[in-house]
Amino acid sequence: MKNIFFYKKRTIEIKSLLLFVLMLFCFIPLTAQNVNIQFFPEKINHNRTEIVIPNVNGYEVLKADLHLHTIFSDGNVWPSFRVQEAWREGLDVISITDHIEYLPNKDYLNADFNTSCNIAAPEAEKLGMIFIRGAEITRKQGVIGHFNAIFIKDANLLKVDDPKEAIKAAKAQGAFVTLNHPAWKMDTCKFSSFQKEVMEEGLIDGIEVINNHEYYARALSWCHDLRKTIISASDAHDPVADQFKLTKAGLENIRYRPMTLIFVKERSEKGVREALDSRRTLGYFDGRIVGDKELLGALFNASVKFNKVSANNKTDYYMLKNNSGFPYRIRIGSLEYLILPMSTISLSFPKTTKSVEIEVISMYYYENLSPKFTISLE
């Protein structure tokens, strides 16, 4: 009788223990879970928009923004953010060019003129971007003007009272110097006497034909006549997506920031510098591309392919396919067409047509002049 009682007691104890263990395992996940938090596995904000541009005559075409500001001058974003947003928007090359003379946030930032680039450079390396150190020499617009110096080593050496000596201090470091936004806050696009002087002395390498929301058609002619490199830049102070109202709602609505298209022999800082020195750049802004006529033609021919697909006794039928991320507006005779990025349009011509002249009206090679290309149909 004693053994039976002991056995029943032992069984009850074991069952109680098992029940306790089971309740413990059920309770642990409940204590670790916060019912107020829901987890989503996708991180869509890390996606990069790829701006597709075919290679052109053996050159890789890099997308660059060489005029950007951060909180270390009069911008409203942190330097690493500048890099991240540029990467997400499909750029390959950027330069941060904070002002030397204009520092509205200096009371809150204990930093020298190299700090913004020092912060940005490691982030660019992590994302595989080419980062170029720069700074902006900022003097009175219309009298002296603003000048970007990129490929510099020490921005602190540009803190010089005399504006020409400041530019020379940049050139002494091997800088590429650009005249910025020549018609900004001006009633016309023209050189000041100081700008003529430094231009004649060979201290200026490039001119901003496009800056932010402004296109300077006269400056495009200057670059052609004076053999200066074409630069197109956002000059962004706020987040770029806010400043330029970028959207991905549909192919017809895709917009990119202003950018310089750089035709490089090699994908490196050295390759970018060689291309800038050789004037192998085009400027992009709001669906338009400006620059040297020959380079525009090479880009268009690499991007847009003309193929005959069928024919009858009277008519030949063609497809015009755009293999790039840029839209092209063209005129053939009296008709205009829009070829959206990565899209195709159909065309037809009488069988007697030997060639077709295409005017690319979204391109400019001189002051408001668009290039025309002849396509053989034979």
Q: What is the CATH number of the domain that holds 355?
A: 2.60.40
Q: Domain check: are 174 and 52 in the same one?
A: yes
Task: Report the 10 Å Cβ neighbour count for 327.
Answer: 18
Q: Is the pLDDT of residue 352 over 70?
A: yes
343, 364: one domain: yes
Domain boundary pick from 233, 265, 291: 291
Residue from 261, 264, 259, 283 nearest 274 by CA: 264
Same domain flag for 314 and 283: no
Q: What is the mean pLDDT of residues 251-264?
A: 81
**Do 114 and 233 lie in a common domain?**
yes
The answer to whether residues 79 and 117 touch, using CB atoms and an 8 Å cutoff, is yes
Mean pLDDT of 130-141: 96
pLDDT at res. 5: 47
Over residues 104-128, mean pLDDT: 94
CATH code at position 151: 3.20.20.140
Average pLDDT over residues 169-181: 97
User: Do 332 and 287 share a structural domain?
Assistant: no
Is the residue at 65 inside a domain?
yes
Of 28-32, 80-84, 119-123, 270-274, give the lowest mean pLDDT range.
Answer: 28-32
d(CA 94, CA 120): 10
Q: Which domain holds residue 178?
A: 48-291
Do 286 and 308 lie in one domain? The reply is no
Domain boundary among 228, 261, 291: 291
Per-residue model confidence (pLDDT) at position 378: 78
Please indicate, yes or no, if residue 155 is contained in any of the structural domains.
yes
Whether residue 122 is predicted with pLDDT greater than 80 in this model: the reply is yes
Strands (E), the chain: 60-68, 93-96, 130-138, 146-150, 176-179, 206-211, 214-215, 229-233, 259-264, 281-285, 288-291, 304-311, 315-322, 328-332, 335-339, 344-350, 355-360, 363-364, 372-376
Question: Residue 251's pLDDT band (boundaries 50, 70, 90)?
Answer: very low
Q: Which secondary-structure segment (H or E) carries 126?
A: helix 115-126
Q: Once rounded to an integer, what is the mean pLDDT over residues 238-246?
A: 81
pLDDT at 31 over 90: no
Q: What is the pLDDT of residues 298-318, one digit of tens each?
A: 999 999 998 999 999 999 999
Give me the pLDDT at residue 249, please: 42
pLDDT at 259 over 50: yes
Mean pLDDT (whole number) for 41-70: 88
Task: Give me the mean pLDDT over the 133-156 stretch.
Answer: 96
DSSP state of 246: -
Evaluate if residue 95 carries a pLDDT over 90.
yes
144 falls within a domain:
yes
Asked whether residue 120 is assigned to any structural domain, the reply reads: yes
- 262 and 371 housed in the same domain: no
Tell me if 219 is assigned to some domain. yes
Query: What pLDDT score was predicted for residue 114?
Result: 97
Confidence of residue 347 (pLDDT cuts 50, 70, 90): very high
Element (H, E) at 354: none
Same domain as 238, residue 211: yes
Q: Which residue has the higher pLDDT, 25 or 359?
A: 359
Model confidence at 246, pLDDT cuts 50, 70, 90, reads low
- Provide the pLDDT for residue 65: 98
One DSSP character per residue, 144-208 reads: T-EEEEES-S-GGGG--SSHHHHHHHHHTTT-EEEE--TTTTSSS----HHHHHHHHTT---EEE
pTM over 0.75: yes
Does residue 169 register a pLDDT over 90? Answer: yes
Q: Give me the percent of the chain exceeding a pLDDT of 70.
A: 85
At residue 254, the pLDDT reads: 58
Q: Do 189 and 56 share a structural domain?
A: yes
For the segment 270-289, the average pLDDT, to the nearest whole number, is 97
pLDDT higher than 70, residue 39: no
Domain membership flag for residue 297: no
User: Token digits for 175?
Assistant: 């800088």
State mean pLDDT over 257-273. 97
If one counts the domains in the chain, the total is 2
Indicate the range of 120-124, 139-143, 215-219 predicted with least confidence. 139-143
Same domain, 144 and 269: yes
pLDDT surpassing 90 at residue 79: yes
DSSP 3-state of 62: strand
Instruction: Using alpha carbons only, give the angle 150, 152, 155 rounded to the nearest 5 degrees.
Output: 105
Buried b (16+ CB within 10 A) or exposed e, 272-306: bbebbeebbbbbbbeebbbbbbebbbbbbebbbee
User: Could you tell me if 98 and 138 are in contact, meaning their C-beta atoms sit under 8 angstroms apart?
Assistant: no
Together in a domain, 85 and 204: yes
Q: Is the dihedral of CA 344, 349, 354, 360 positive or negative?
A: negative
Task: Kindly indicate the confidence band of residue 3, based on its pLDDT and cuts at 50, 70 and 90.
Answer: low
Looking at the structure, tell me whether residues 120 and 249 fall in a common domain.
Answer: yes
Confidence of residue 243 (pLDDT cuts 50, 70, 90): confident
Q: What is the pLDDT of residue 89?
A: 93
Question: Are 51 and 325 spatial neighbours (Cβ–Cβ below 8 Å)?
Answer: yes
Query: Average pLDDT, stretch 286-292?
Result: 95
Any domain includes 41: no
* Average pLDDT, rounded, for the chain: 89
Note the pLDDT of residue 242: 83
Domain membership flag for residue 32: no
Of 264, 291, 318, which closes a domain?
Answer: 291
